[in-house]
Amino acid sequence: MSQVVRDFYNRNPSYEWERLWRPYTHLEYVTTMHLVVKYFPKSGSVVDIGSGPGRYSIEMLKRGYKVTLVDLSEALLEVAEREIAARGLRAEGIFQGDACNLGFLDDAQFDAAFLMGPMYHLIRREDRLKALGELRRVLKPGGVAVVAYLNSWGIIRALLTESPCYYESTEKILALTREFINEGHPEGGFTEAYFTIPPKAAAELQEAAFTILSCAGAESYASGCIEPLARMSQENPGAYKNVLETAAALCEEPPWRDSTEHLHFVVKK
């Protein structure tokens, strides 16, 4: 993974720590933990590859799992280490490293894994397959993982509220759509980024010899509703809580799954 991506995450670690606790992006956290409860073993060792500041790792530690963190960004790992210690928790290991080369981890070491973040930034297909190969290597036979991709189908819609400047002309919209779906890494992303669509992502995981157990849309039926959810969280917190719960319950349904910004595959070795 490139120095550009590393520098991007090193610049503002507090933003990444706060990201999953904002009203809209908290959907991603809630649906991911729904998948964990449904598909992960009830106990065991977990590796969080692309752990960032440790939001998922902390939750897994609180639930009694043994957790190892890996991230490209030293600044994010410093936040993770501090926040884990502040809660009286202890990780099995915290490593600065690249998802494409996990040589510091043993073969068949983990019962479950997260690979959430690295696949967003691996533009070259061979690098994505390396990362998936490393994930498979460190999982025990039968081990389960959540692998996240950026989904072009959902992002094209999300840009309506996040970056409406993309829609200044029909030519620009059509060009952007072709770039997202055909090229996978259009200009103007938040940093070096790879975008895909559900069938391509599924084929890549199968090529890496994973069995796909499920696929989910992280934002579920609330995809794109940034401002409504922000208002609801303040004005009607009970309704907001219901949205989170039902979005998680429905995140694997095809109409919502394929049209959200973040696509989460549950795979098995």
Q: Give me the domain span that covers residue 40.
A: 3-268
Q: Answer whether 217's CB lies under 8 Å from 257's CB.
A: yes
Cα–Cα distance measured from residue 244 to residue 22, given in angstroms and rounded to the nearest whole number: 12
Tokens of 119: 């696949």
Overall pTM surpassing 0.85 (yes/no) = yes
What is the number of structural domains in the chain? 1
In order along its 269 residues, the chain shows pLDDT tens digits of: 688 889 988 998 999 999 999 999 999 999 999 999 999 999 999 999 999 999 999 999 999 999 999 999 999 999 999 999 999 999 999 999 999 999 999 999 999 999 999 999 999 999 999 999 999 999 999 999 999 999 988 887 776 776 666 667 676 666 666 665 555 555 445 678 888 989 999 999 999 999 999 999 999 999 989 999 999 999 999 999 999 999 999 999 998 888 899 999 999 99
Q: What CATH number corresponds to the domain at position 210?
A: 3.40.50.150
For the chain, report the end-to-end CA distance as a whole number of angstroms: 24
Strands (E) across 50-168 are located at 66-71, 93-96, 110-115, 139-150
Cα–Cα distance measured from residue 115 to residue 264, given in angstroms and rounded to the nearest whole number: 10
